[in-house]
Amino acid sequence: MAILKSTLLMAAGIVSFVAVSIPLYAQERPADPVQADAVQAISAPSADITLSFIVPGRLTEVSVKEGDIVPKGKLLACLDDQPERIQALQYKVQAGDKAKILSAEAELAQKKLDLKKVESAKAKGAASDWEIEHLVVSVRIADLSVKAAILEQELYQHRYAQAMSQLERMRLVSPIAGRVEKVSVETGEAVNALGAVIQLVSIDPLWIDVPVPLAQAKKLAVGQNVRVQFPDAEAGATPSGKIIHIAAVADAASDTLGIRIEVANPHNRPAGERVSVTFAPHADDHQHARLRTK
């Protein structure tokens, strides 16, 4: 009986020691500051554009394929524009034709000369007032004909400019430097206005939109550095990003504020990865910490 009682007391002592030791160990173990402040998010392209024609037509050329890297301004695709080119050429010829203007100016000069001769004849009593009035009206009409010819040429110049603008609408040009993510059409197909043709993305840099708790977001500033941990990255390999935008309106339901981060992507990691974002302490926070230490 004494042996059993001694055994029970020893067991109780061990349990008591373990129960006390575990919370003490947990309290003394330092927390990982990176994981404690990390926020999970998903990377996204800094540009994601779906290009379309604003006029319907038939594709005569698609000069890129999926995966191609394209510079800004590269021709990606074009529609059949033969009828529009013929019309533009016609307007170009008419816009540069000055025959009507020269003819009207010559007729005006002749009418003025006739009027001058008749006025000289009238001074000698060889012409009537009716002839003078008739030639005055003729000079005025000839002057208006010159102005009409000039206006007609300007109209053709505007029509030519409009035709060239219409031709530009039948060409799809890359507005950014990026990667062709998707080609939705093939040469020879008919496309509708505003139908998806080519999707372009830019993944260097990447953008990361992070919903940050409002209390923490108030301590952040545009231009502040952050650490971004990508999946399967080596330990300690945390690319440095920076805050480029802080939303002006918070989400009342989640009590968060949207923060946009830009991070360089020289290795062309795909967008859409789950990442861990850690906000580095702001310079003001370091200063306050030093003051508290003093």
> Using one digit for the tens of pLDDT, what is the confidence trace for 199-214?
999 999 999 999 999 9
Q: Which two tokens stand for residue 288?
A: 């306050």
Report d(CA 183, CA 196) in Å as an integer: 9
Nearest to 211 by CA among 238, 249, 263: 249
pTM (2 decimals)? Answer: 0.68
Q: What is the dihedral of CA 78, 79, 82, 85, to 10 degrees?
A: -60
In a domain, 93, yes or no: yes
> Using one digit for the tens of pLDDT, what is the confidence trace for 239-288?
789 999 999 999 999 999 999 999 999 888 999 999 999 886 655 444 44
pLDDT (0 to 100) of residue 78: 96
In a domain, 211, yes or no: yes
**Which residues form the domain of 272?**
33-47+203-293
pLDDT (0 to 100) of residue 240: 83
- CATH (domain of 258): 2.40.30.170
pLDDT (0 to 100) of residue 236: 53
Structural domains in the chain (count): 2
178 alpha carbon, distance to own chain's centre = 12
In a domain, 221, yes or no: yes
Nearest to 266 by CA among 226, 222, 230: 230
In this model, does residue 157 exceed pLDDT 80? yes
Nearest to 271 by CA among 181, 203, 210, 220: 203
Helix (H) or strand (E) holding 56, with range, is: none
